[in-house]
Structure 1
Amino acid sequence: MSFLNFKRKQLSHKTILYLFTIAILSSCKSKNTKTETDWFYLFNGKNLDGWVAKLNHHNVGDNYANTFRVVNDVLQVNYDGYSEFGERFGHIYYEKPFSSYHLKFEYRFTDQWMNEASKYTYRNSGVMIHSQDPKTILKDQNWPISIEYQILAEREKGEPRPTGNMCSPGTEVFFKGEMDPHHCISSSSKTYKWDEWVSGEVIVYQDSIIKHIVEGDTVLEYTKPQIGGKIVKGYDPNIKIDGKLLKEGYIALQAEGQGIEFREIKIKNLK
C-alpha cells in the first residue's frame, strides 16, 4: 500500500467517524427541541383521566349526575341527570397547574339549557385559567378564584355577542394600562352560531401578558392578573389574598347550566 493510499483510507475513517458524531448530536438536539415545543393533549378523547370535578355544594371529585362525561370522543357538559340545577355551578380541572403556556381547544354549544339557571348562562360557558387549586375550593364556594376565557354564542339573530371575552371571579386585571373595574371585558371577536365548532386559544406569560385568540385572531389582551375584586362567595379567606399576582394556576372547563362540548384540548409550555 502506498503512503498516499494509506492517508486516504485513514482520512476516510476519520470522516465517517466525524459525520457519525455530528449525526448523533443533531439527533439529540432535534429530540430536545421537539420536547420543548411539542403539544400535549390534556384531554385524551377517551375518558376523564387526569381531570377532577368540583361543583358548588359538592365535594371535590364528586361529578354529580355525571355532569362531565365523554360522548363520541368529546368532553361534554350534560344535564340529563338533573331534576333541578340548584346553583351547581361547576368546573372540571386538569390535574396539574401551568405557568407560561399556549392553550388550544375547540368548543360548540348543545341545545340543552337549564332554564332555572340565571338568564346570563344561556349559550354561555368558559375556560378558566390561573385558577386556584380545586382542593382549596370550599364545598359551598360558587366559583373558583380564577381568570375566565368567556365563551358566548348568538342568542338573538342579529345581536352582537362576541366570544373570547375576559371575566374575573375573585380576580382583577389591567386593561389598556389601567386596572379595569368591570367584571367582564368584551373581546373584538365576531358572533358565532351556537352549534358550530369554534377554535379558541389562550397565550399566558405568568403574571405579565395574557392573550385571547378566536379562530386564529387575537381578540383581547390584558396584563397583571391578580387576586382581588368580588363575585366569588363562600371562599377560604386564607386563599383570597387581594393584590397577589397570579404567576400560575389550574385550567378548568366550566358548567353553569348550559350544555357544551369540548375537543382538541392541548397545551404547549412556553419558556
Structure 2
Amino acid sequence: MQKIKLLMTLTLAFVSGISTAQKSQKGWQQLFNGKDLKNWDIKITGHQLNDNNGNTFSVKDGKLTVSYDGYKAFDEQYGHIFHKQKFSAYLLVMEYRFVGEQVKGGPGWAYRNSGAMIHSQSAKSMGVNQDFPISIEVQLLGGDGKGKRTTSNLCTPGTNVVMKNQLITAHCVNSNSKTYDNDVWVRAEVLVLGDSIVKHIVEKDTVLMYEKPQIGGGNVSNYDPALKKDGQLLSEGYIALQSESHPIEYRKVELFDLKPYMKDPKKLAAKLKELQNRK
C-alpha cells in the first residue's frame, strides 16, 4: 500500500506537459520502425500464429496499417499484432487515426473502434479460436458524428482493475477525453508502472487513471484456463494493437522503458520529471 501511495504521488505531476515538448531520442524505443513489421507477432481469431489473414496488418506509406481489403466479410476475425518484447513499466506513445469504412459484417459497437492491449498474454499463448488476449485494453474510439464518444477508455478482457480503492468489474469504463471526429490524428499515451499505477493521456490531458491491474472477470473466450488465474496482479506483459473491423493507421508507436528506475523512487521521480519537461 505504501508503495502504491508513493508511486501515486510521483505520478500526480506527470500530466499535461508530457505531450507538448520535443524529446531526446535517448532511452526511447521505436516499437514500429516505419518500414516493416519486424519484432511483431500476429494472431487473428480462427487462424494460426502469424497467419496474417487478408494482409490485415501491413506497412503503407510509413504507417502501421490495419485494413480489410482482403476480406469478403469480417466473420468475427478479431486480430492483434503483438510486439515481441515484454514490458513492465514504461511510457507508451501512439499516434493514430481511423480511416475509411468498416468492413462488411463488423459489429455495430466496433465502428471506429480499436485499441492497444497492455500487460497482455503473449500471441503464442492464445488459443486458435481465442477472440481477445487476457489483457488491459486502452480502447481507442473515433467520433461517429452523433455526439460525445470518448477515446482512451478502459476495457478489460479477462481482467479487472482498482479505482478509488474499489475493484472495478465492469467491462468498459469511459475516460473524460474529448471526442475526435473525422480522420484526425490523435496522440495517446499510456503511463504504466508495473502492477500499481496506469494513466491514460490524450493530447496533453490525463483522461483516466487506475491501479492494481489483475486477472479476473469475463469478456474473453477460448483461452487456456491455466493462464486465467483470477486475482493475480499483472506486473508485466506484452503490448498489442487490435484489428476489430474498422481500418486504422499508426504513424508512431514508441516507448520509454521505466523498469530501470522502479527500484529507486528518487530516480523514478527524476525521470518522470525529465520526461514531462523534455525539450
TM-score by length of 1: 0.85
Residue 84 of structure 2 is aligned to residue 95 of structure 1: yes
Aligned residue runs from structure 1 range 1-271, under 5 A: 38-157=27-146, 159-270=147-258, 271=261
- C-alpha deviation, 1:117, in angstroms: 1.5
Map Cα deviations across residues 20-42 of structure 1 (whole Å, 9 max, x no partner). xxxxxxxxxxxxxx89x611100
- C-alpha deviation, 1:65, in angstroms: 1.0
The answer for unaligned runs of 5 or more in structure 2 is: 1-23, 262-279
Q: Per the alignment, do residues 175 and 108 of structure 1 end up closer, same or farther by CA in structure 2, a change over 3 Å counting? A: same
- Whether the 8 Å contact between 1:124 and 1:258 is mirrored in structure 2 is yes
Matching residue's letter, 1:76: T
SS at match of 1:262: strand
Matching residue's letter, 2:52: N
- C-alpha deviation, 1:156, in angstroms: 2.6
- C-alpha deviation, 1:128, in angstroms: 0.5
Matching residue's letter, 2:68: Y
Q: Distance in 1 between matches of 2:104 and 2:151?
A: 21
SS at match of 1:98: coil
SS at match of 1:238: helix
- C-alpha deviation, 1:241, in angstroms: 0.7
Q: Distance in 2 between matches of 1:103 and 1:50?
A: 16
- Whether the 8 Å contact between 1:77 and 1:259 is mirrored in structure 2 is yes
Between structure 1 and structure 2, the one with the greater Rg is: 1
Q: 2:19 maps to which residue?
A: none
The answer for unaligned runs of 5 or more in structure 1 is: 1-33
Q: Distance in 1 between matches of 2:125 and 2:58?
A: 23
Q: Distance in 1 between matches of 2:170 and 2:78?
A: 21
Identity %: 50
- Whether the 8 Å contact between 1:123 and 1:194 is mirrored in structure 2 is no
Q: How many residues align?
A: 236
- Whether the 8 Å contact between 2:73 and 2:104 is mirrored in structure 1 is no
SS at match of 1:130: strand
Matching residue's letter, 1:137: M
Q: Distance in 2 between matches of 1:78 and 1:194?
A: 17
SS at match of 1:258: coil
- C-alpha deviation, 1:216, in angstroms: 1.3
Q: 1:4 maps to which residue?
A: none
